[in-house]
Chains A and B, each alone.
Chain A
Amino acid sequence: SQQGEEDPQALSIQEGENATMNCSYKTSINNLQWYRQNSGRGLVHLILIRSNEREKHSGRLRVTLDTSKKSSSLLITASRAADTASYFCAGQGGSEKLVFGKGTKLTVNP
């Protein structure tokens, strides 16, 4: 059962541009997290936003959460080639376990 569903599946941009990825989820959540995965590696936690928060920032990352629409977005500003990776959202729902989406593959071209 997929809690998060990322959109788009793939995104290709030029260095310096902003990248926006969206995540929709099905059931109520306690928190929503974003992770990054470089090719063939493990996932790295980027940011966690709780259900009572609407927006959160961390460096060049900005995450929003709209619980009424059951959606979240991750914005990476001034992207760099090193941001090339897959990005996953993961929601903690009623089962208390994290349920991951299928990911957005971001390519930042130099």
Chain B
Amino acid sequence: DVKVTQSSRYLVKRTGEKVFLECVQDMDHENMFWYRQDPGLGLRLIYFSYDVKMKEKGDIPEGYSVSREKKERFSLILESASTNQTSMYLCASSLLEGGPGETQYFGPGTRLLVL
């Protein structure tokens, strides 16, 4: 069965802290994505990766960076957390065939609160 896991369901951090959100998929998918979801704004793409060590900016990459050292793992990094990064973060993966618009499989989400 398809599985995408995220390291934490809930996270509380202080302003200025460096925050790592981890995502692991066991489906051998090439594409991986990070979204944030805010009330009234829907899902917005932060970054995606179509291969190890490759990354592409999404619609709102400012204040974030990513790392993909292994195919199954995609990390989202908040270099210096700010209160406006309080949000629900969703990771997803998909097969390379069909491109990044193919069916995506989502993790359960990490709800991050920055104080």
User: A residues engaging B (CB < 8 A)?
Assistant: 1-2, 30-31, 33, 35, 40-45, 48, 88, 92-93, 96-103
| Closest chain B CB from A69 CB (angstroms) | 21
Say which size band chain B's interface belongs to: 20 to 34
Per the bound structure, the CA–CA distance linking A103 and B88 in Å amounts to 15
Q: Is the CB of A1 within 8 A of B59?
A: yes
Q: Is the CB of B42 within 8 A of A44?
A: no
B78 within 8 Å of A (CB atoms): no
Q: Is the CB of A31 within 8 A of B101?
A: yes
| Closest chain B CB from A110 CB (angstroms) | 26
Chain A residue with the shortest CB-CB distance to B41: A102
Q: Is the CB of B4 within 8 A of A42?
A: yes
| Among candidates A2, A30, A88, A102, residue contacting B101 with C-beta atoms closer than 8 Å | A30
Residues of B30-50 contacting chain A, CB below 8 A: 35, 40-43, 45, 48
Q: Is the CB of A42 within 8 A of B90?
A: yes
A-B contact pairs, 26 of them (CB 8 A): A30-B101, A31-B101, A40-B111, A42-B92, A42-B106, A43-B43, A45-B103, A45-B104, A45-B105, A48-B103, A88-B42, A88-B43, A92-B99, A92-B100, A93-B101, A96-B99, A96-B100, A97-B48, A97-B58, A98-B101, A100-B42, A100-B43, A102-B40, A102-B41, A102-B42, A103-B42
| Closest chain A CB from B75 CB (angstroms) | 17
Contacts of A33 in B (CB 8 A): 103
| Closest chain A CB from B76 CB (angstroms) | 15
CB within 8 Å for A98 and B104 given contacts A1-B59, A88-B42, A103-B42: yes
